[in-house]
Amino acid sequence: MGEQENTKNKWNKSQLFKLLYGLYHTKIPTMIWGNPGGGKTSTVKFLGKTLGLSTEIRSGNKSDPTDFSGIPYLIDVKSENGGKTLKFSEPKYVQIMNANPNGILFFDEITTCSPVIQVALLSIIQDCQFGEFKIPDTIYRVAAGNYNNITGTHYMSLALMNRFCHIFYDMDIDFFMDGFISEFKNYEEAKINNEDQIIINKNKYRLAVVNFVKQYPEFLDAFPDDGAISDPHEFAYPTPRSWDMVVKILSYLDENEPIYIEELVKGCIGDTAGTLLIKFIKNFKIEIDISSFVGREKEFHLLYPDRHDYVSQVMSSMVFFLEHNPKKYMELWIQVINVLHNENKTYGNYAPYDNLIMKYLRSNIKHLLDRKILDRENFPKLDKRIQCYDLLKIEIEKFLEGK
């Protein structure tokens, strides 16, 4: 494919299905790159059929901005001054997707979309919204297109590119020969972690990413300085958004084979950052599993109380689990705070962890109020349970006054 030929791993049709099957469960927008006529579209259709879901197809070379924004029209304004205002009709795809909230929205031939259409797609791919119209965020957005050296294609903008996990597809001879006999039905499903494991994994992998970025700060946000990708093979690059995608992929799919995980990670942050992260994660371990203390909260203790990085990791993990399941982790949250506060006594008049406690408690208390887990009636009950409650009185009063 000339200068645009990609040197990344290319996956055959069966493997493409497995990648898409896993990504469907993460709901991470996906971009499939490949040659025309290889089976990208048929694989997406088969994914929808396998999952028993509606697949709505929007074709790039037949799209117009009004397909996404709706057709504008004027209506009378009901006011003393009268006049008219501009409204937009609800696009057909919005109606279809709202009726099928777990379905698939497939943008075929996306590389034939003009720059104007690409701008329209930015908010749809990222936020499931365009203007006043919104589709459920449970919709799986997937796109397919051809490399830029093929006639009729447009270069994808970097902003749109960064919203996808990129997969590179090719038909290999073995699968082609076998598929002609089996009618291309030899598909394998990816392993999906259960809900509890996903939550535990999210805590683990977000901490891993934070520690990785501390070690390699150049990969926090590697948007090309010149506004272009100098290496045309690097369709993915690291940004805070793509790091979130990586954490989600690892949380849902880390039980699959290493090459599968590696492909998806690189599809979000590129080859260089992806290779380094995979190596980093192999050696990364959370030094204490907070979730394992549910039901035996009194057994919790600090393994390394003199290490600020360790204590910060404990508190960060505690905040994460509390926000995901306040009722399940409330008792452990209180115990962790008390253990940490008591540790200050070993330092005499200097209490190094009080500021850390305050930092996380402020976040926790606001979250608990917003979720209505705590209110004016049961907040005072914390006075007898949280030993450093006096530190929080002013903060708590501010929160309560604002409610």
Q: Is the pLDDT of residue 225 over 60?
A: yes
Highest mean pLDDT among 1-10, 70-79, 119-128, 376-385: 119-128
The residue count of the chain comes to 403
pLDDT of residue 235: 83
Tokens linked to 75 = 């209506």
pLDDT at 40 over 50: yes
Instruction: Clarify whether residues 116 and 223 are in a common domain.
Output: no
Q: Which of 91-95, 166-170, 274-278, 377-381 tops mean pLDDT? A: 274-278
pTM: 0.82
Nearest to 339 by CA among 359, 309, 318, 367: 318
Q: Confirm whether 242 is domain-assigned.
A: yes
Domain count, the chain: 3
Q: How confident is the model at residue 232 (pLDDT cuts 50, 70, 90)?
A: very low
314 part of a folded domain: yes
Domain assignment present for 85: no
- Helix%, strand%, coil% for the chain, nearest 5: 55, 10, 35
Distance CA(249)–CA(237), nearest Å, equals 16
Are 169 and 202 members of one domain? no
What is the Cα–Cα distance from 381 to 398, expressed in whole angstroms? Answer: 17
DSSP codes of every residue in 173-191: HHHHHHHHHHTS----PPP
Q: Specify whether 326 is located in the same domain as 386.
A: yes
Beta strand ranges found along 77-225 (DSSP E): 84-88, 104-108, 129-130, 133-134, 140-145, 165-168
**Pair 148, 202 in one domain:** no
* pLDDT score, position 177: 47
Highest mean pLDDT among 112-116, 257-261, 398-402 belongs to 257-261
Q: Kindly report which listed range (164-173, 197-206, 280-289) carries the lowest average pLDDT score.
A: 164-173
217 and 349 fall within a common domain: no
As beta bridge partners, residue 295 has none
User: Do 148 and 35 touch, CB atoms closer than 8 A?
Assistant: no
For the residues 86-103, what does the mean pLDDT come to? 84
Domain's final residue, options 285, 317, 338:
285
Q: Let me know: does 250 contact 8? Beta carbons within 8 Å.
A: no
- Which residue reads 């990785």 in tokens? 212
Residue 132: band (very low, low, confident or very high) from pLDDT cuts 50, 70, 90: confident
Both 279 and 325 in one domain: the answer is no
**Among candidate residues 269, 285, 301, the one where a domain is terminated:** 285
CA distance 128 to 303: 44
- For residue 396, what are the contacts with CB-CB under 8 A and spacing of at least 6? 365, 379
* Site of tokens 């005072």: 380
19 and 160 part of one domain: yes
* Three-state secondary structure readout of 337-399: HHHHHHHHHHHCCCCCCHHHHHHHHHHHHHHHHHCCCCCCCCCHHHHHCCCCHHHHHHHHHHH
pLDDT tens digits along 335-368: 888 888 777 666 554 456 666 666 666 667 666 7
Based on the domain organization, do 50 and 11 belong to the same domain? yes
Give me the domain span that covers residue 177. 1-65+93-189
Check whether residue 281 and residue 296 sit in a common domain: no
Pair 239, 317 in one domain: no
Q: State the distance between the two ends of the chain, measured CA to CA, in whole angstroms.
A: 61
**83 in a structural domain:** no
